[in-house]
Amino acid sequence: MDGRTARLVRQRAAGSCEYCRLHEDQEPFFPFHIEHIFARQHGGGDDISNLALSCHHDNLHKGTNLTGIDPRSRKLTRLFHPRRQRWSRHFLWAGPIIVGRTAVGRTTVAVLALNAPDRAALREALIEAGEFPPSD
């Protein structure tokens, strides 16, 4: 992927992870990734409609997954697709915790480990500093 495409993805996401909503400036350890929503091995390409900005944590947990098991229904469920779905439809904030409102949201929270203790602690510190969560 070329530099222009990467810049467009970062710009479109306003520098925030499209899964956990953390801003690049708030991530203390790792640069954000340009993530393939549908991995290349599943036929996904480098077109801008298949790319999302993702923090290191979320991208490593997502990997090439397209689905997971909804913790409530135990059914196979698609993961959140940032180009086709609205974040606020599938997730909501409960302090530093991301709550899945739908099967897609619950499954994405589980597969991407969005509420891992270190991530929730980082969001809690940012909330206390008045820097989080982002407004939608």
Copy the structure tokens of residue 33.
Answer: 């990734």
Give the residue with greater pLDDT, 30 vs 134.
30
Q: How many whole angstroms separate alpha carbon 17 and alpha carbon 26? A: 10
> What DSSP string runs through 24-62?
GGG-SS---EEEESS-GGGT--SSGGGEEEE-HHHHHHH
All structural domains of the chain with their residue ranges: 3-128
CB-based contact 57:114 (threshold 8 Å): no
Instruction: Quick: pLDDT tens for 117-129.
Output: 999 999 999 999 9
pTM of the model: 0.95
Q: CA 70, CA 49: separation in Å to the nearest integer?
A: 25
Average pLDDT (54-78) is: 98
Written as six digits, the tokens of 1 are 């992927």
| C-alpha separations of 75 from 1, 7, 39, 70, 104 in Å | 35, 37, 22, 6, 11
